[in-house]
């Protein structure tokens, strides 16, 4: 026997009529309050700005990685020297008669930075060619020697101090000479006047 279908019961839960009057048969139970989820307060992301970016000098010591221990430093030094020795042995065996590279010391350091700055100032230019000058790179090299001089003050021998002072003096004078030559070249180009003599230096950066 088929199951008898049950009639649908519709319950009007409206509290007011179409005219806005209260309905006498309305459910007196208070309507549940609907919870409205407010959007989360927006997070303010500060834009990167040079003025707002802390300088390296202002960085806290907590921002720096932990320093290696004495044991870690010693292990790294021994491993480095052993690897470097094996590499040098392999290179020398492949190139019989090859001279030993000079041992690195303070003089080698100063000379390396000095020669780099000279090349950046166009010192390696062949005769008759236009010097190519990396003026900003040269400035960094000169400033690097200045930092070395400041940090090693009082710890150098008389010979080391004389070498460093001479290198700094020569590089600073060469830098001034090149910048003045560049200024004269730019002024002559702007005025349209022919530049007498050899071709002046040009900036590569």
The residues that bridge with 202 in the sheet, in sequence order, are 132
145 vs 203, higher pLDDT: 145
CA distance 108 to 63: 33
CA distance 78 to 62: 29
Residue 24 has pLDDT above 70, yes or no: no
Q: Does an H or E element contain 85, and which?
A: helix 70-94
Q: What is the pTM of this model?
A: 0.58
Q: How many CB atoms lie within 10 A of CB 61?
A: 5
**How deeply is 60 buried, as exposed, middle or buried, from its count of CB atoms within 10 A (0-12, 13-18, 19+)?**
exposed
Tokens representing residue 147 in the block: 């930092």
Tokens representing residue 43 in the block: 């997070």
Strands 202-203, 132-133: pairing kind: parallel
CA distance 76 to 69: 11
Cα-trace Rg, the chain: 40
**How deeply is 154 buried, as exposed, middle or buried, from its count of CB atoms within 10 A (0-12, 13-18, 19+)?**
exposed
Give me the residue spans of the domains in the chain.
Answer: 105-205
- pLDDT tens-digit series, residues 102-132: 788 999 999 999 999 999 998 887 777 777 8
Tokens representing residue 74 in the block: 């010693």
- pLDDT tens-digit series, residues 172-187: 999 999 999 888 888 8
8-state DSSP, 95: S
The pLDDT-based confidence of 33 (bands split at 50, 70, 90) is: very low
Q: Does an H or E element contain 175, and which?
A: helix 158-191
Residue 141 has pLDDT above 60, yes or no: yes
* Beta carbons within 8 Å of 43's beta carbon, 6+ residues apart: none
- Are 204 and 122 a contacting pair, CB within 8 Å? no
Tokens representing residue 85 in the block: 């020795």
């Amino acid at each position: 026997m088929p199951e008898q279908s049950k009639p649908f019961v519709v319950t009007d839960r409206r509290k007011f009529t179409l005219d806005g009057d209260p309905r006498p048969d309305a459910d007196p139970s208070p309507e549940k309050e609907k919870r409205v989820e407010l959007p989360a307060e927006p997070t303010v992301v500060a834009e990167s700005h040079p003025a707002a970016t802390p300088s390296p000098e202002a960085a806290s010591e907590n921002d720096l990685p932990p320093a290696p221990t004495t044991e870690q430093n010693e292990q790294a030094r021994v491993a480095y020297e052993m690897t470097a020795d094996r590499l040098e042995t392999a290179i020398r065996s492949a190139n019989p008669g090859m001279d030993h590279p000079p041992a690195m010391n303070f003089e080698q350091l100063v000379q390396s930075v000095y020669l780099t700055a000279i090349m950046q100032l166009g010192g390696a230019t062949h005769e008759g060619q236009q010097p190519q000058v990396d003026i900003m790179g040269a400035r960094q090299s000169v400033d690097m020697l200045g930092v070395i001089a400041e940090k090693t003050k009082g710890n150098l021998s008389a010979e080391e101090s004389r070498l460093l002072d001479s290198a700094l003096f020569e590089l600073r004078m060469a830098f001034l000479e090149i910048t003045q030559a560049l200024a004269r070249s730019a002024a002559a180009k702007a005025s349209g006047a022919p530049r007498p003599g050899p071709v002046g230096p040009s900036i590569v950066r």
